[in-house]
């Protein structure tokens, strides 16, 4: 069964083709260097399978494409109208603090809400995206990738997951691709082919918020003193065809907060051709241990403020993905000997403005400029050389400046939504000089979270009923707490399983090891919380025999949230949990998200 591992030498090998790598490769491709061989490995089955909002100021993108005409990119439009709305709870099921309830009463007494929503009379300048663009990240990446590859300067290989970085004496010397032809446990089977080694003078890591290579480098090199990556969110979205009668202009942007739970932020963006993206962010400081983003997204859509446009809409696709919300708090070492990190895996996402696309793209431009400078000077890709060129450019740029303003902007949310919003406003208004401090707290158990609504015996009854059917408890728990059942219409509102078949299009090729595994199954046997099941974005984790969850790769949308969806931290490394989320193949097949 042993087959020799192949090895290939290139000049630069890149991990992940997201917006960060788009900026990097596009900048290299604008001024092609015939003596530079650049290969980019993307794990998804196509170069346009990313998930994002996305509304962006597009400053970095316009730096790369100064004459950019949004109409050249499918689903893109200039931002035309922006609104921010506070959504009240029309059902009475969300968990609102006494302060928020009082504020809701005052708003209603003054007859200010329309469609159970109060539109803010102004948009704070730090949140405005005027002059910006609305994109489908999938379509944009496809367009970008085609532009870059057409120059012949770079190669992008979709469907090629990188397993790990190759390290020699603390120097990164390339990457190893994932083994193929294994069983689900990674044991070689028929057709086994060990993952090839791609050796390179520079390895560029842009594998996003939960990439295996970025996390490997964090484990090897650690994070700079005082940095942590405890803040995260799951973003879930749908792309829909709007009913013909809806007359919203392309480029219309709504941002919302307050519903389905006060902690959940939402967005509604109108693309050309009567298509819209609608989605929510479920942040780590929302402490519900049964946080099902798919179900919450359906309640969001049904809110009267949005339903007036979405009633009669049809689902085209959906997706979910993690966001690394620690921002600059979570910044790793940006460069080392033989490697550099760009984009969200390098802490570029701005947690105050909720934007990551343009920031990621710009860090890619900065690295490409540094590469050109070092090549022109005949200097190698060492840590000091990369720091003097790439890190220095980044420190002098708007990404750094705005990242610093945002750094502590959301810490107040650890004390609750109202204090969190005040902290955000304070940080935004004072350019980050003032903020409200706060520390992440452990997610409570179901019994702790639901103590005012359900008894321990009721929770146990729900657990027994659901687990004996092999399903998660979140739907049943929500319905017991007053959330109405979703009125499935088979068109926009449907079960998660139907959505996976219709709009999610998950593919899970055989011959690869499972990318989600449980490190210590005995922890799972003793675990009553089973957060991993209750929080899974794709219903890919379900109750299993002896208490160890089952993982179904055919349902996994690769959101990566499960690395945080476990309450059991490891004794030898309290930052890691009992779930390993490794590099893997497959996931969502949709280039509209």
Ligand X SMILES: Cc1cc2nc3c(=O)[nH]c(=O)nc-3n(C[C@H](O)[C@H](O)[C@H](O)COP(=O)(O)OP(=O)(O)OC[C@H]3O[C@@H](n4cnc5c(N)ncnc54)[C@H](O)[C@@H]3O)c2cc1C
292 interacts with ligand X by CB under 6 A? no
CB of 236 to ligand X, least distance (A): 6
- Judge whether 275 and 265 are in contact, CB under 8 Å: no
Residues of this chain, 299-338, that bind ligand X according to CB under 6 A: 321, 323
CB 566 within 8 A of CB 498: no
Applying CB under 6 A, what is the total number of residues that bind ligand X? 42
Beta carbons within 10 angstroms of residue 154's beta carbon? 22
Q: How far is the CB of 351 from ligand SF4 (least distance, A)?
A: 21
Tell whether residue 356 is a contact of ligand X (CB under 6 A). yes
19 interacts with ligand SF4 by CB under 6 A: no
Q: How deeply is 280 buried, as exposed, middle or buried, from its count of CB atoms within 10 A (0-12, 13-18, 19+)?
A: buried
Measured from the CB of residue 482, what is the shortest distance to ligand X in angstroms? 27
- Per-residue buried b or exposed e for 577-588, using 16+ beta carbons within 10 Å of the residue's own CB: bbbbbbbbbbbb
**Closer residue to ligand X (CB): 21 or 335:** 21
Regarding 583 and contact with ligand X (CB under 6 A), the answer is yes
> Is residue 211 a contact residue for ligand X (CB under 6 A)?
yes
Q: Kindly identify the residues of this chain, within the stretch 519-548, that bind ligand X according to CB under 6 A.
A: none
Q: Which stretch binds ligand X (CB under 6 A): 145-153, 349-357, 452-460, 470-478?
A: 349-357
Rounded-to-integer distance, Cα 207 and Cα 567, Å: 25
242 binds ligand X (CB under 6 A): no
Using CB under 6 A as the binding rule, whether residue 405 contacts ligand X is answered as no
Residues 521-580, interacting with ligand SF4 (CB under 6 A):
523-524, 527, 529-532, 536-538, 540-541, 549, 556-562, 565-568, 578-579
Nearer to ligand SF4, 436 or 563 (CB): 563
Rg (CA), the chain: 23
Is residue 20 close enough to count as binding ligand X by CB under 6 A? Answer: yes
Residues 220-239 that bind ligand X (CB under 6 A): 235, 237
Structure-derived torsion over alpha carbons of residues 178, 179, 180, 186, reported in degrees to the nearest 10? -110
Residue 539 near residue 351, CB atoms below 8 Å: no
Residue 166 binds which of ligand X, ligand SF4, none (CB < 5-8 A, kind-dependent): none
Q: Does 251 bind ligand X (CB under 6 A)?
A: no
**Quick check: 133 binds ligand X (CB under 6 A)?**
no
CB of 57 to ligand X, least distance (A): 8
DSSP secondary structure letter of residue 503: I
Question: For residues 294 and 318, what is the distance between their CA atoms, to the nearest angstrom?
Answer: 10
Stretch that binds ligand X, among 24-32, 341-349, 530-538, 563-571 (CB under 6 A): 341-349
> Hey, what's the torsion of the CAs at 408, 570, 583, 142, to 10 degrees?
-20
Whose Cβ is closer to ligand X: residue 13's or residue 529's? 13
**Contact indicator for 153, 38 with CB cutoff of 8 Å:** yes
The least distance separating ligand X from the CB of residue 525, rounded to whole angstroms, comes to 30
What is the distance between the alpha carbons of residues 287 and 465, in angstroms, rounded to a whole number? 24
Beta bridge partners of 566: none
- Residues 252-281 touching ligand X, rule: CB under 6 A, are 279
Cis peptide before 260 (omega within 30 of 0): yes
Does 472 engage in binding with ligand SF4 (CB under 6 A)? no
The rounded distance, in Å, linking the Cα atoms of 52 and 323 is: 10
19: partner contacted, choices ligand X, ligand SF4, none (Cβ within 5-8 A by kind): ligand X
Among 13, 87, 100, 516, binds ligand SF4 (CB under 6 A): 516
Question: 331, 271, 321: which is closest to 44 by C-alpha?
Answer: 321
Positions in 149-168 near ligand X (CB under 6 A): 161-162
585 lines the binding site for ligand SF4 (CB under 6 A)? no
Position among 291, 518, 543, 590 found at the interface with ligand SF4 (CB under 6 A): 518
The total number of residues written for the chain in this structure: 593
3-state secondary structure 439-486: CCCCCCCHHHHCCCCCCHHHHHHHHHHHHHCCCCCHHHHHHHCCCCCC
Does 54 contact ligand X by CB under 6 A? Answer: yes
The only residue of 349, 435, 537, 565 in contact with ligand X, by rule CB under 6 A:
349
45 binds ligand X (CB under 6 A): no
Give the list of residues 6+ apart from residue 471 with CB closer than 8 angstroms, or none.
Answer: 539, 542, 543
- The entry of ligand SF4, ligand X, none near residue 260 (CB within 5 to 8 angstroms by kind) is none
Query: Among 2-10, 350-358, 386-394, 545-553, which window interacts with ligand X (CB under 6 A)?
Result: 350-358
Question: What angle is formed at CA 519 by the lines to CA 476 and CA 51, rounded to 5 degrees?
Answer: 60
Please, what is the minimum distance in Å from the beta carbon of residue 93 to ligand SF4? Answer: 24
d(CA 57, CA 44): 26
Q: Does 360 bind ligand X (CB under 6 A)?
A: yes
Among 212, 223, 531, 536, binds ligand X (CB under 6 A): 212
Residues 6+ apart with CB under 8 A from 435: 408, 409, 411, 412, 423, 426, 427
Question: Residue-wise over 29-68: b if at least 16 C-beta within 10 A, else e?
Answer: beeeeeebbbbbbbbbbbbbbbbbbbbbbbebbbebbeee
Cα separation, 553 vs 508, whole angstroms: 6
Buried b (16+ CB within 10 A) or exposed e, 196-224: bbbbbbbbbbbbbbbbbbbbbbbeeeebe
The site partner of 583 among ligand X, ligand SF4, none (C-beta below 5 to 8 Å per kind) is ligand X
Question: Which of 357, 365, 477, 585 is in the footprint of ligand X by CB under 6 A?
Answer: 357
**Near ligand X by CB under 6 A, which window of 46-54, 88-96, 108-116, 503-511?**
46-54
User: Which DSSP string do the residues of 76-98 spell out, in sequence order?
Assistant: -EE--EEEEEEEP-SSS-S---H
Chosen residue from 25, 28, 38, 41 binding ligand X by CB under 6 A: 41
Does 342 contact ligand SF4 by CB under 6 A?
Answer: no
Residue 285 interacts, among ligand SF4, ligand X, none and using kind-specific CB cut-offs from 5 to 8 Å, with none
Q: Considering the rule CB under 6 A, would residue 503 count as an interface residue with ligand SF4?
A: no
Residues forming contacts to ligand SF4 in the complex (CB under 6 A) are 516, 518, 523-524, 527, 529-532, 536-538, 540-541, 549, 556-562, 565-568, 578-579
What residues line the site for ligand X (CB under 6 A)? 15-21, 41-44, 50-56, 137, 161-162, 206-209, 211-213, 235, 237, 279, 321, 323, 343-344, 349, 355-358, 360, 583
């Amino acid at each position: 069964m042993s087959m020799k591992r192949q090895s290939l030498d290139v000049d630069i090998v890149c991990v992940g083709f997201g917006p960060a790598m788009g900026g990097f490769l596009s900048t290299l491709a604008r001024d092609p260097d015939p003596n530079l061989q650049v290969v980019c490995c993307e794990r998804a089955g196509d170069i346009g399978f990313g998930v994002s909002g996305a509304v962006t100021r597009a400053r970095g993108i316009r730096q790369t494409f100064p004459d950019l005409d949004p109409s050249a990119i499918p689903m893109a439009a200039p931002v035309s109208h922006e609104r921010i709305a506070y959504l009240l709870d029309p059902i009475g099921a969300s968990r609102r603090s006494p302060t928020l309830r009082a504020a809701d009463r005052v708003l209603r007494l003054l007859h200010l809400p329309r469609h159970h929503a109060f539109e803010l009379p102004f948009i704070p300048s730090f949140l405005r995206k005027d002059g910006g663009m609305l994109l489908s990240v999938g379509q944009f990446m496809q367009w970008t990738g085609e532009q870059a590859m057409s120059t012949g300067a770079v190669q992008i290989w979709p469907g090629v997951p990188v397993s790990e970085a190759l390290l020699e004496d603390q120097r990164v010397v390339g990457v190893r691709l994932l083994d193929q032809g294994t069983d689900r446990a990674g044991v070689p089977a028929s057709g086994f082919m060990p993952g090839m080694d791609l050796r390179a003078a520079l390895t560029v890591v842009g594998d996003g918020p939960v990439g295996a290579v970025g996390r490997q480098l964090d484990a090897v090199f650690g994070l700079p003193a005082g940095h942590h990556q405890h803040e995260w969110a799951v973003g879930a979205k749908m792309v829909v065809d709007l009913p013909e009668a809806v007359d919203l202009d392309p480029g219309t942007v709504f941002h919302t907060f307050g519903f389905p739970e006060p902690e959940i932020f939402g967005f509604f963006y109108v693309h050309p051709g009567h298509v819209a993206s609608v989605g929510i962010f479920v942040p780590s400081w929302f402490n519900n241990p049964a946080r099902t983003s798919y179900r919450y997204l359906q309640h969001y859509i049904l809110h009267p403020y949005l339903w007036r446009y979405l009633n009669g809409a049809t689902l085209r696709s959906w997706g979910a993905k993690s966001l690394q919300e620690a921002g600059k708090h979570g910044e790793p070492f940006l460069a080392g000997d033989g490697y550099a990190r760009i984009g969200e895996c390098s802490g570029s996402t701005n947690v105050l403005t909720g934007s990551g696309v343009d920031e990621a793209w710009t860090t890619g431009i900065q690295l490409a400029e540094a590469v050109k400078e070092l090549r022109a000077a005949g200097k190698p890709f060492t840590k000091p050389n990369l720091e003097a060129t790439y890190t220095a450019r980044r420190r002098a740029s708007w990404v750094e400046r705005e990242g610093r303003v945002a750094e502590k902007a959301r810490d107040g949310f650890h004390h609750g939504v109202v204090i969190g919003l005040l902290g955000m406003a304070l940080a935004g208004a004072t350019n980050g000089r003032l903020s409200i401090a706060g520390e992440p707290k452990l997610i409570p158990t179901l019994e702790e979270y639901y103590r005012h609504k359900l008894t321990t015996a009721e929770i146990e009854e729900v657990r027994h009923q659901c687990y004996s059917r092999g399903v998660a408890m979140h739907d049943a728990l929500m319905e017991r707490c007053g959330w109405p059942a979703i009125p499935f219409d088979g068109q926009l509102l449907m079960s998660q399983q139907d959505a996976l078949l219709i709009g999610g299009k998950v593919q899970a090729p055989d011959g690869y090891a499972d990318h989600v595994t449980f490190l210590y199954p005995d922890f799972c046997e003793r675990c009553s919380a089973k957060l991993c099941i209750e929080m899974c974005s794709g219903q890919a984790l379900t109750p299993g025999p002896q208490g160890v969850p089952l993982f179904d790769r055919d349902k996994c949308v690769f959101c990566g949230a499960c690395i945080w969806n476990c309450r059991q931290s490891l004794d030898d490394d309290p930052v890691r949990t009992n779930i390993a989320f490794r590099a893997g193949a497959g996931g969502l097949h949709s280039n509209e998200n």
